[in-house]
Structure 1
Amino acid sequence: MGTWNTGPYDNDDAADLLEDIREGHIYFDELLPDVGHRYIEADQGAMIIAMAHLAAGDVPEGIDDTVLAPLRTPQTRERLRQCLEAVLSDGAVSELAEQWAENGQEELLEWKAKSHIQLV
């Protein structure tokens, strides 16, 4: 992974997602796993975190806020909330959580704190 840090957009998968959004080549529903999905791969987990932050209004420069409307429906926000909870839970459910745990408790907690966002 070229870019790897604790922020919600600080990884290659999130950067690719943002670039696809800027270019208008994105279908958010296709990126979210079904609720109850048993295991979330690292790339999908990184995109879930980024989409949760976008849905909550943490929008990076260069992103047209109007294209994010599909992320802000009550149904999608609830689905995102559940997916985000799974990604941040533990390595049994989330490859990304497993990778951060391998970096040590301090980095794991920092990543979780920066990745978590309220989706009310």
Structure 2
Amino acid sequence: MKITDHFIPVFTNQLDTTVAYYESLANRPMDRRWDIPEAGLSLATVYPYVIVSGSPEALEPARSLRAVVYVDSMNELKDVLKQQNTLIVRDQHGPIGPSIFVQHPDGSFIEYVEPAQATV
């Protein structure tokens, strides 16, 4: 299993304004935008940032997220995590591909994603 990319999460209740700021800061356009209606969240990426937007209530559970890490094999990652007795908090298939939310022993909360080929 290899780490292929990573994103730094940014939380806001003003997606468009925040996207414009990070486009200017990174000197690049937004890469992608999508919604997660069941969570009440809208997201956008302006590499290397993933901007997460929603109401304060919708953002509360997401705010503990420290990073989003892309991997080339979710199955291999799960094997490594199992060997290390690391807690997988949630296992799901999101709009980018399969993802898991992991609580590391040091307390870090990280989402790992195996992106579908079309999104890489």
- TM-score interval for Structure 1 and Structure 2 normalised by the shorter chain: under 0.3
Ranked by relative contact order (alpha carbons within 8 Å, sequence separation 6 or more), the top structure is: 1
| Larger helix share, 1 or 2 | 1
Structure of higher CA gyration radius? 2
TM normalised by structure 2 equals 0.27
The structure richer in strand per residue is: 2
